[in-house]
Chain A
Amino acid sequence: MKIGIVSPWFVRCGISSYTFDLANALSKQGVDVYISRLNRFGSKSAEYFETLAARRMPKVDLIHVQHEYGLFQGGEGVFYGNLRQRQGTTPLVTTMHGVGNPIPDEIVAENSDAVVVHNKWCADRYGHPCTVIPHGVSVETPIIMEEAKARLKLDGPVVTVFGFVGPYKGVETAIRVIGMDFPGVNLLVAGGWHVEYETTYMVQMKDLANTLAPGQVRWTGWVEKDMLPIIFGASDVVLYCNKYATESGALLTAVGYGRCVLANALSPIKEKEAEGALTTYSKEGELVMRLEELLQDPTLRHRYESGARAFALQTSWEKVARMHLDLYEELL
């Protein structure tokens, strides 16, 4: 089978990482995957989407679009209209990485032969027919904790926040909690931003860390892939304080490394808690209590680590690719 995927590629972007893993897993199951690059950055015009829809592509059996509102900037109408016209009867699948914006959601639903979302909460919120295929997880092994901490020159317990450092990530919550309630615990903020070396938000967070948690917070900046086993190897607990999420590649990376994850109890995250992949908190007070428990009780941590590993194996990219293949075959 030959498919074309429209997506950002090889840039600092969650959708790009997702496509990379999916394409890789599909290709191992005999699918030839052609990527049509959707630019991650820049202000996009209607002409841009016309060109993108008309961009040359080999004759493929199916086209799969990775959709996210920020990437399309309201250009769904132009893009899907032109793509439909150009590709004729070639089946069109769209994965919605975010849901809840009525007009784009409707355009995508009308123009796609199938829509994929990552979890039940997204499916309910989307409100159009769709298929739930979970976000894949790479099953990875971190390096030994002592060695990882030594390489990062960290002493004592380490709590890690991983992923892009943006205003909706709740880094301030992590800094506040670690600084005020966990003296002697290190907070490792492992992540950067898409392009800029530093953003206003990052500067604000560094100021906050200097005030509330002096000497406790370590900033790594953008983490290259080869550093991940060290970052997760050194993490006693991975904290996920996002204020909003539909799905999270960063969270699932931590789960894939078999780490004990304590996450804000957002609806899509609670689905993972129900499957034993992680544990959650609802309020800051509860976050403090849960984190204290986890840091003091290695047995409890190991329970969640085992749960994370089991979940990762269940939703490995190999399995997720097979689910995609089943969907593609239904459409062909």
Chain B
Amino acid sequence: MRLMLYTDTMTIKTKPSAYSKVATAIAKGIHGRHKVAHQPMLRANKMGLFVYQDLLIYPSGDEEFGEDQIEKNCLHFNADAVMTLKDLYPFTKLMHMPLEWIAYTPVDASPPGISTINRLRYAFKVVSMSEFGYKELKREGVKSTLIEHGVGEEYRPLDREDCRRRFHIKPNEFVIGFVGKNQERKNIPRVIEIMRATRDMHPDVDVKGFLWTNVDKEIPLRPMIIGTGMAEHIHWPNPDMYEHGLPEENMAELYNAFDCTITIGNEGFWLPGIESMACGTPILTPNYAAAADRVKDGCGYKIKVKDWSYNNPVAVKQPIVDVMDAAHKITLIINRGREAYEKRCTREAERYRWPGIIEKKWIPFLDMCETELLPMVKKGRIMKWDQEVF
């Protein structure tokens, strides 16, 4: 099958995202069985068509999400299907193009927005990335195939002292880590409140925060860090370094340096959660949306949701977590020690290793798509076209 991957850039380091990583892993995993091309979004490829590591990279187009270019690229590539790996809000025209659209989409709210459901009605196939998303779509009458994201082999327990040294973290510090874009929906100011509340609760422990984000982006975080008196207790990277992105090996070192990793927003999957667990670091998530799927017994804790907010452009339900409950849950980790969680976390994360996800999920799913996209009917049975056609 010929598949066009239409997502964040997989090759050009402009704005790395979880989608880029996932798409790269899928493209590598199915290489040889299917022909894959890629149209990067966000005007990442202004150069024209080129080949990079066996992957045909198409121009991004002039529009932010490249809808002006995708049909042309698919026709040029003779794509059997185009797969988006993205939220659905950027797409306004894609649904009305004569393309077979596989929507690999996050669902991060209950109920999912009506605009999400309406768009998905046009999809050839829908792939949900979390149990939460799968159930929500089912409730809305949208059939989907559940395929969770995977985690790379780089993410594994490492020598923590070395890792901490690399990020200038002292051995006695208890570090609450956050990894993610600085977006309104991630509610990082509340993460800072949690870091402060935990610090206040434990004067005998050197509680620190580590925000792996661009503190100057969507929400200006520096004033809040300073205003809450946390300037000396929160680490953050130089914004340029964050935007450029760290190699996976170094990201694994960062997770190894944390004592726990937290998110409090509504997530469609929360890849950092899996990466953190693969490194043996426990996680904390709100008791809502897909991030909560990640928390299994002994791997971390779900934080109580105290209230809800709809103050976002697509008016989806977002959680406002209970700061004190979060601080109490972190206290449990402080008391038991990170090591008490390491074994369960790494064992749980093994389920998400890419080779297994590709073999057990993506290959059967794409085979099923191929049978519908390139069908052959023989003696009353539907099968896929003979391989020699390719």
Residues of chain A touching chain B, judged by Cβ–Cβ distance below 8 Å, are 9-10, 23-24, 26-28, 32-35, 37, 39, 41-45, 47-48, 50-51, 54-58, 195-197
CB of B386 within 8 A of chain A? yes
Q: A47-B75, A55-B78 are in contact. Are A27 and B97 (CB under 8 A)?
A: no
Please pick, from A48, A50, A55, the residue contacting B98 in the complex, using a CB distance under 8 A. Answer: A48
Which residues of chain A are within 8 angstroms of B380 by Cβ–Cβ distance? Answer: 24, 27-28
Please pick, from B72, B379, B388, the residue contacting A27 in the complex, using a CB distance under 8 A. Answer: B379
Which residues of chain A are within 8 angstroms of B78 by Cβ–Cβ distance? Answer: 51, 54-56
CB of B100 within 8 A of chain A? yes
Is the Cβ of B379 less than 8 Å from the Cβ of A28? Answer: yes
Which residues of chain A are within 8 angstroms of B390 by Cβ–Cβ distance? Answer: 56
Docked pose: A34 CA to B72 CA in angstroms: 25
Is the Cβ of B97 less than 8 Å from the Cβ of A42? Answer: yes
Which residues of chain B are within 8 angstroms of A24 by Cβ–Cβ distance? Answer: 377, 380
Is the Cβ of A23 less than 8 Å from the Cβ of B98? Answer: no
Q: A35-B376, A55-B78, A195-B122 are in contact. Are A43 and B388 (CB under 8 A)?
A: no
Docked pose: A195 CA to B141 CA in angstroms: 12
Is the Cβ of A23 less than 8 Å from the Cβ of B373? Answer: no
CB of B96 within 8 A of chain A? yes
Please pick, from A50, A51, A57, the residue contacting B389 in the complex, using a CB distance under 8 A. Answer: A57
CB of B375 within 8 A of chain A? yes
Which residues of chain B are within 8 angstroms of A44 by Cβ–Cβ distance? Answer: 98
User: C-beta contact mask, B105-145 vs A, less than 8 Å → 1, else 0?
Assistant: 00000000000001001100000000000000000010000
Give, as a whole number of angstroms, the nearest-CB distance from B379 to chain A.
6
Is the Cβ of A9 less than 8 Å from the Cβ of B75? Answer: no
CB of B378 within 8 A of chain A? yes
Residue of B nearest to A50 (CB): B75
Which residues of chain B are within 8 angstroms of A50 by Cβ–Cβ distance? Answer: 75
Beyond contacts A39-B98, A197-B121: 6 other A-B pairs, Cβ-Cβ < 8 A, are A34-B376, A42-B96, A43-B96, A56-B389, A58-B386, A196-B118
Closest 10 CB pairs of A and B: A42-B98, A39-B98, A27-B377, A23-B377, A33-B377, A51-B75, A35-B375, A42-B97, A44-B98, A10-B372
Is the Cβ of B385 less than 8 Å from the Cβ of A34? Answer: yes
Is the Cβ of A33 less than 8 Å from the Cβ of B376? Answer: yes
Docked pose: A27 CA to B383 CA in angstroms: 12
Residues of chain B touching chain A, judged by Cβ–Cβ distance below 8 Å, are 71-72, 75, 78, 80, 96-100, 118, 121-122, 141, 372-381, 385-386, 388-390
Residue of A nearest to B141 (CB): A197
Is the Cβ of A32 less than 8 Å from the Cβ of B97? Answer: no
5 contacts between A and B (CB under 8 A): A24-B377, A34-B385, A42-B96, A58-B386, A197-B141
Docked pose: A32 CA to B50 CA in angstroms: 38
Give, as a whole number of angstroms, the nearest-CB distance from B125 to chain A.
10
Which residues of chain B are within 8 angstroms of A196 by Cβ–Cβ distance? Answer: 118, 121
Docked pose: A240 CA to B249 CA in angstroms: 67
Give, as a whole number of angstroms, the nearest-CB distance from A33 to chain B.
4
Please pick, from B72, B99, B377, B386, the residue contacting A35 in the complex, using a CB distance under 8 A. Answer: B377
Is the Cβ of A58 less than 8 Å from the Cβ of B122? Answer: no
Which residues of chain A are within 8 angstroms of B96 by Cβ–Cβ distance? Answer: 41-43
Which residues of chain B are within 8 angstroms of A48 by Cβ–Cβ distance? Answer: 71, 75, 98
Docked pose: A26 CA to B80 CA in angstroms: 25
Is the Cβ of B122 less than 8 Å from the Cβ of A37? Answer: no
Please pick, from A28, A32, A51, A54, the residue contacting B376 in the complex, using a CB distance under 8 A. Answer: A32
Q: A195-B121, A196-B121 are in contact. Are A39 and B378 (CB under 8 A)?
A: no
Docked pose: A10 CA to B81 CA in angstroms: 14
Give, as a whole number of angstroms, the nearest-CB distance from A288 to chain B.
37
- Among A10, A44, A196, the most chain B Cβ lie within 10 Å of the Cβ of A10
Q: A56-B389, A58-B385, A196-B121 are in contact. Are A42 and B99 (CB under 8 A)?
A: yes
Which residues of chain A are within 8 angstroms of B381 by Cβ–Cβ distance? Answer: 27
Q: A56-B389, A58-B389 are in contact. Are A41 and B376 (CB under 8 A)?
A: no
Docked pose: A42 CA to B374 CA in angstroms: 19
Give, as a whole number of angstroms, the nearest-CB distance from A50 to chain B.
8
Docked pose: A57 CA to B374 CA in angstroms: 9
Docked pose: A147 CA to B18 CA in angstroms: 53
Docked pose: A58 CA to B389 CA in angstroms: 6
Residue of A nearest to B373 (CB): A37
Is the Cβ of A41 less than 8 Å from the Cβ of B389? Answer: no
